[in-house]
């Protein structure tokens, strides 16, 4: 994931990233800077939450 974020930052400047995270791993994305947007919803029978990361910084 860190390599993808670094690539995006290098290619287009500081973009935003948006994803649907399974609730069991939302904390992982939170540690990368993603913020939860909205309520939990069911996708493919699994609880998910929308998450967004603004102004992506290259990983340290």
pLDDT per position as a tens digit, 31-55: 988 999 999 999 999 999 999 988 7
Q: Give 19-41 as a 3 state SS string.
A: EEEEHHHHHHHHHCCCEEEEEEE
Query: Pick the residue with more confidence: 58 or 31?
Result: 31
pTM of the model as a whole: 0.71
DSSP-derived 3-state class of residue 42: strand
Could you give all domains of the chain from N- to C-terminal order, each with its CATH number?
A: 2-53 (3.40.630.30)
């Amino acid at each position: 994931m860190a390599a993808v974020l670094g690539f995006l930052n290098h290619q287009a400047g500081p973009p935003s990233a948006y994803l649907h995270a399974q609730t069991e791993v939302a904390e992982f994305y939170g540690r990368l800077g993603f913020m939860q947007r909205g309520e939990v919803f069911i996708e493919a029978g699994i609880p998910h939450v929308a998450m967004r990361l603004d102004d992506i910084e290259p990983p340290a």
